[in-house]
Chain A
Amino acid sequence: MPNDVTTDVACIDTDVLVIGAGGAGMCAAIAAGRAGARVVLADRSLIGRGGATIMAQMTVAAALGEQGEDDWRFHYADTLAAGRGLCSEPLARVLCEDGVAAIRDLDAWGAGWARDGEHLAQVQAPGHDRPRCVYVDFLDTGPAVARTLRTQVARTPGVQRMGDLVITDLLREGGQVVGALALHLATGRPLVIGAGATIVATGGLTRLYRRNSASANMGGDGYALALKAGAELIDMEFVQFFPIGHLAPRLVGFDPIMWDPFRYKLGGRLLNGLGEPFVERYGHASDVKGYTVTRDAATYAILKEVEAGRGSPAGGAWLSFTHVPAETLQAAFGPIIAKLAAAGIDLTRDRIEVSPIAHYHMGGIRVDTDMATRVPGLYAAGEAVGGANGANRLSGNAITEAVAFGLRAGARAAAHAASVPRVPPPRLCALAASGLAELQSSERPVQPVAAQIARLQDIMQQGVGPFRTDAGLRQALTELATLRAEVGETLAGTPAPHDAVRAGALDLRAMLQVAECVTQAALARTESRGAHQREDYPGLDDAHWRINQVATWADGVWSFTHAAVPRLPAPVTEPQGAL
């Protein structure tokens, strides 16, 4: 038996541990702190700077009714329609109903939502029955929300912020999550954290794909943590591909999702390689009068045109604003127009190429309306939660989901933490022993982890993309298994500070597990619904598949079961005045 790895290990104690400091995590920390809990807000990168929140381009949906009559029940109906029958009704209700107050909270905290005279400006995004989405100009929603929440976190008593901290394992005792083991990148040292409640707010998994809109820390590692702690994942096969992700020419310093708000505000034209409109060939309303095509339909149309040999030069579609007067462009996007000009793009003259890009994950950790998993002491919030958006997310719901779920998870986790005893540090360290041994090892100091991650991304892009087949999915599973065997069991890297190989090896391990889960789930679902499209099963099959696939994992074995989609006890009736 090697030396006791648990001596000289730093150990801290808190009430609520929040993993991930994006929109959901910061809101959870705020709510837990306000409820009187001591909070550790941990992030693998910098607090409030990593993740998807800061990258949000524009829309945030909430039934504020600033531009006309609205009610959360209309937003809820739109959410359910977009979700194609798989939305968890209770979670969708939390999103839409709590979302109203949550977005007003952000306003009160100084987010700076664009105003139209006295009222908040709200635009109508695809899938919504009326104008409903607020935003911060110009394409500044994400940074504004992140900044606002960072300020609120700093003002919330009892919240300790810790960046450069990668959570590597959750610790369990008596069937409950009692804390976590972390790697502190800045020092290379392990840290054991005891917590009465833990909230996973690590975002989605779009980093699994070569073409993704995500940040570097969105590989789904929170899913792996939850799985190993005994929690369930649902709807893992539902990855949203944003249809008009920037493809060409290569832009430096721009977000690949930037064209979304341009379409909302200006209604660009999607044209194939021959310069023809094509979207309506695939059975949907023409997009000439503004942006009306919902996302899954546009993705299909673009990829089918490319397959038919009518793609743009780089393999996508042309997006054109050449029909929009220069003054209109300027008024809508002032500073961005200048930035584009500096990059050699004049939208009055030039078209740009776009193609689908992995953008959001509808699936995730299964929780109830307290944001609690089936494992006592373990909660989840934000994009890491599965079910609220069903088979396809309604435009603008992501930030609302992050804030509404984060605030709720923080409050519930604080209450739980106040009711459970603490596990003493020596016991926590004993629970963390095997993880500690790994973090202190350097048996394989250098391995090509970055290349292996890129290979995983290529496998997923190729076989588990927007359009899937049985053969392609099985091929992906085989290739993932080959990659897994090459990576081996021993954790690469060393315990030195900011060891890129060690950090990469931890990511790779989690990404492999999550990639397997997504691919298995996609293979099992033999129908097409929302963002999950099977070329070999192109029809929607409610008789067999109006269910959630629930994934669990224990000792290397996957288990997938079917669960009825959660319904509310009584249907939500829309108020008078539905359009």
Chain B
Amino acid sequence: MSDTTPPGVRLQVVRGQGDGPSHTQVFELPPGSAASLLDGLCWLREHVDPTLAFRYACINANACKECMVRVDGETVYACVVRLTPGTTLSVEPLPNKPRLRDLVTEIAPSKEQWRPDDAC
């Protein structure tokens, strides 16, 4: 029995749809499963819950700027948040943007969106 196994990381993720009610879901990331928060969210979607919604494009390069989330009250890019074994992070959608689902908010300027009311 090894006592040198590093602990995992716990994520407390606020989930919900649109203006609807929110609930916090607690996820455990096994040791070594993820180096960044974005890695962790992708791991969870692959291994635990395929419905977990979050934005990203460039995977890990910090180039696309799509993965903005709120971690422990601070707005950050999920791809550069380094996960420290044995810690717990609270992860929420951006507070100042309309929530679409879970961690996905409407971050595009209005001129880059289709709005159904515009239809012919």
Q: Is the contact region of chain B dominated by helix, strand, or loop, or is it mixed? A: loop
Q: Which chain B residue lies CB-closest to A246?
A: B60
A143, B18: Cα distance in complex, Å: 31
| Contacting residues, chain B, for A45 (C-beta < 8 A) | 55, 57, 64, 66
Question: Quick check: is B119 within 8 A (CB to CB) of the other chain?
Answer: yes
A160, B115: Cα distance in complex, Å: 11
B74 to chain A, nearest CB (A): 16
Scan residues 63-120 of chain B and give those whose CB is less than 8 A from a CB of chain A.
Answer: 63-66, 77, 79-82, 100-102, 104, 106-108, 111-114, 116, 118-120
Q: Which chain A residue lies CB-closest to B58?
A: A215
Choose from A46, A189, A216, A497 the contact partner of B18 (Cβ within 8 Å).
Answer: A497
Q: Given A46-B107, A47-B108, A253-B61, are A498 and B35 also a contact pair (CB < 8 Å)? A: no
Q: Which of the four size classes fits the interface of chain B?
A: 35 or more
Choose from B35, B79, B108 the contact partner of A163 (Cβ within 8 Å).
Answer: B108
A237, B103: Cα distance in complex, Å: 37
A188, B56: Cα distance in complex, Å: 18
Scan residues 453-505 of chain A and give those whose CB is less than 8 A from a CB of chain B.
Answer: 453-454, 496-501, 504
A54, B64: Cβ atoms under 8 Å?
yes
A501, B53: Cα distance in complex, Å: 9
Question: Quick check: is A191 within 8 A (CB to CB) of the other chain?
Answer: yes
| Contacting residues, chain A, for B102 (C-beta < 8 A) | 498
A484 to chain B, nearest CB (A): 18
Choose from A165, A251, A446, A453 the contact partner of B51 (Cβ within 8 Å).
Answer: A446
Question: Quick check: is A10 within 8 A (CB to CB) of the other chain?
Answer: yes
Q: Which chain A residue lies CB-closest to B119?
A: A10
Question: Quick check: is B25 within 8 A (CB to CB) of the other chain?
Answer: no
B45, A450: Cβ atoms under 8 Å?
yes
Scan residues 11-64 of chain B and give those whose CB is less than 8 A from a CB of chain A.
Answer: 17-18, 35-36, 42, 45-47, 50-53, 55-64
Question: Quick check: is A164 within 8 A (CB to CB) of the other chain?
Answer: yes
A253, B120: Cβ atoms under 8 Å?
no
Scan residues 150-178 of chain A and give those whose CB is less than 8 A from a CB of chain B.
Answer: 154, 160-165
Question: Quick check: is A370 within 8 A (CB to CB) of the other chain?
Answer: no
B56, A216: Cβ atoms under 8 Å?
yes
Question: Quick check: is A254 within 8 A (CB to CB) of the other chain?
Answer: yes
Choose from B17, B62, B118 the contact partner of A497 (Cβ within 8 Å).
Answer: B17
A216, B59: Cβ atoms under 8 Å?
yes
A256, B36: Cα distance in complex, Å: 14
B46, A252: Cβ atoms under 8 Å?
no
A496, B17: Cβ atoms under 8 Å?
yes
| Contacting residues, chain A, for B107 (C-beta < 8 A) | 46
| Contacting residues, chain A, for B113 (C-beta < 8 A) | 161-164, 186
| Contacting residues, chain A, for B46 (C-beta < 8 A) | 450-451, 453-454
Taken residue by residue from 29 to 67, chain A's Cβ proximity to chain B (1 for < 8 Å, 0 otherwise) reads as 000000000000000011101110011000000000000
| Contacting residues, chain A, for B100 (C-beta < 8 A) | 185-186, 497-498
Which of B36, B42, B63, B101 has the most chain A CB atoms inside 10 A of its CB?
B63
A11, B57: Cβ atoms under 8 Å?
no
Choose from B66, B81, B101 the contact partner of A50 (Cβ within 8 Å).
Answer: B66
A154, B109: Cα distance in complex, Å: 11
A504, B50: Cβ atoms under 8 Å?
yes
Give chain A's interface residues, CB within 8 Å of chain B.
10-13, 45-47, 49-51, 54-55, 142-143, 154, 160-165, 184-187, 189, 191, 214-217, 250-256, 425, 446-451, 453-454, 496-501, 504
Can you list 28 residue pairs at the A/B interface with Cβ under 8 Å? Answer: A12-B114, A13-B120, A45-B57, A46-B107, A47-B108, A50-B58, A51-B57, A54-B58, A54-B64, A55-B58, A161-B112, A162-B112, A184-B116, A185-B100, A186-B113, A191-B114, A216-B58, A252-B79, A253-B36, A253-B62, A254-B61, A425-B120, A447-B50, A450-B42, A453-B46, A496-B101, A497-B101, A500-B52
A50-B66, A55-B61, A252-B79 given; name 19 further pairs at CB < 8 Å.
A45-B55, A45-B64, A46-B112, A154-B111, A161-B111, A164-B108, A164-B113, A184-B116, A186-B100, A214-B59, A215-B58, A216-B59, A252-B35, A253-B62, A253-B77, A254-B60, A446-B51, A499-B51, A501-B51
